[in-house]
Amino acid sequence: MRRPAALLFAVTFCLQILKGSAGSLLKSLEVPQFTFVSGTVTLRCVYDMGSSKLYSLKWYHNNTEFYRYVPTERNGPVNIGPTNIFTLHEVSRDDRHVTLSLSRVTAAATGAYRCEVLAEHPSFRTESMQSYMTVLSHSLSPPLIKRVREIYEPSDQITVGCQPQKMEKDEPMPKILWLIDGKQAPPAQQEKYGRSLDGSYTGVSLNIPGQQVVDAGGSVLVECRLSLGEFEERASKTIRVRMEHKSLASAPNAGSAVAVLGTSALLAALLLSAAL
Ligand SMILES: *[C@@H]1O[C@H](CO)[C@@H](O)[C@H](O)[C@H]1NC(C)=O
């Protein structure tokens, strides 16, 4: 879970919408990009009426109103509409924001969430912002790392794959990112595989020349990160490459002997005999 990132995304996303409408009453809208069936999400709408007063604040889902706040309404300023796609609670409210919690979210809760504010007389100015949320049927599982061999040779072009454990039809593909020893792998070393005509793909491969692993000391830790909005899952594996002994490679005839024998005890024996 990476809440700050999600929040930042939501805020920037909404600020972009705001720019388009040249608004000034609505300050931000926070709607998570993804959630899971039966999950709980927090929605937040921040406003600033400036010199005018708030007449009403409404929330809509797919253009159906599900929440209304009318401060001047003496008997029950808050009106929560009946809905069977989620359970709604007002978390907090003041003269700057309304925060709602949706729980027991169903697949039908996927869609556009819009917050609309209406200023009082005389301006009756209306502003709204919206953001899209997708409800996924399953929570994210750690990715599968495929095709990792026990050991590689320095001359090998190492290719390993990473993909989601399972993909539901019509659900968004998580982002897949490879890291080598904690650093993001260059884009040139990452490649989508299993592409189909509709633009979908199965996973992302990581390509590492065996020599790169040799240069890193004979092994690297590769990590695959799967992310969907604020959700992230990881898996990692160690890639090992057989190391040649430099000291032996320069000794006469030792190179071929090493290739054939290859065990450390024999290497030590060879080293000894070379020294004598
Ligand atoms: C809202 O719209 C989305 C598509 O944009 C749809 O998947 C979802 O089922 C709709 N939900 C309701 C309750 O209308």
Q: What pLDDT, in 10s, does the model give residues 137-190?
A: 888 999 999 999 999 999 999 999 999 998 877 788 999 999 999 999 999 999
Assess whether the region 3-136 and the region 144-240 belong to the same CATH fold.
yes
For domain 3-136, the question of CATH label 3.40.50.2000 is answered with no
pLDDT above 90 coverage of the chain, percent:
67
Sheet holding 219-228, edge to edge: 183-184, 175-180, 219-228, 231-240
Q: 144-240 — its CATH code?
A: 2.60.40.10
Q: Which is the closest atom of ligand 1 to the Cα of 85?
A: 13
Of the residues 61, 64, 83, 110, which should be mutated to test ligand 1's pocket, given the most ligand atoms within 8 Å of the CB? Answer: 110
Report which of residues 76 and 228 the model is more confident about.
228
d(CA 111, ligand 1 centre) in Å: 5
Ligand 1: list residues with CB < 6 Å: 62, 85, 108, 110-111
pLDDT at 228: 92
Determine which residue's CA is closest to atom 14 belonging to ligand 1.
62
Task: Mark residue 147 as left, alpha or beta (left: phi above 0; alpha: psi -120 to 50; beta: remaining).
Answer: left
Is the Cβ–Cβ distance between 35 and 95 less than 8 Å?
no
Of the residues 34, 37, 61, 62, which should be mutated to test ligand 1's pocket, given the most ligand atoms within 8 Å of the CB? Answer: 62
Determine which residue's CA is closest to atom 11 belonging to ligand 1.
108
Sequence-ordered strand ranges (E) for 71-185: 78-80, 87-93, 97-103, 111-119, 126-136, 144-146, 157-163, 175-180, 183-184
pLDDT above 70 coverage of the chain, percent:
80
67 has a pLDDT exceeding 70: yes
12 band by pLDDT with thresholds 50, 70 and 90: very low
Determine which residue's CA is closest to atom 2 belonging to ligand 1.
111
191/179 Cα distance (integer angstroms): 13
Determine which residue's CA is closest to atom 7 belonging to ligand 1.
110
Report which of residues 159 and 252 the model is more confident about.
159
Q: What is the pLDDT of residues 102-114, one digit of tens each?
A: 999 999 999 999 9
71 has a pLDDT exceeding 60: yes
237 has a pLDDT exceeding 90: yes
92 band by pLDDT with thresholds 50, 70 and 90: very high
- Average pLDDT in the chain: 85
pLDDT at 260: 42
d(CA 95, ligand 1 centre) in Å: 31
Q: Which two tokens stand for residue 197?
A: 């005509």
Determine which residue's CA is closest to atom 13 belonging to ligand 1.
108
- The structural domains of the chain, with segments of one domain joined by +, span 3-136, 144-240, 246-275
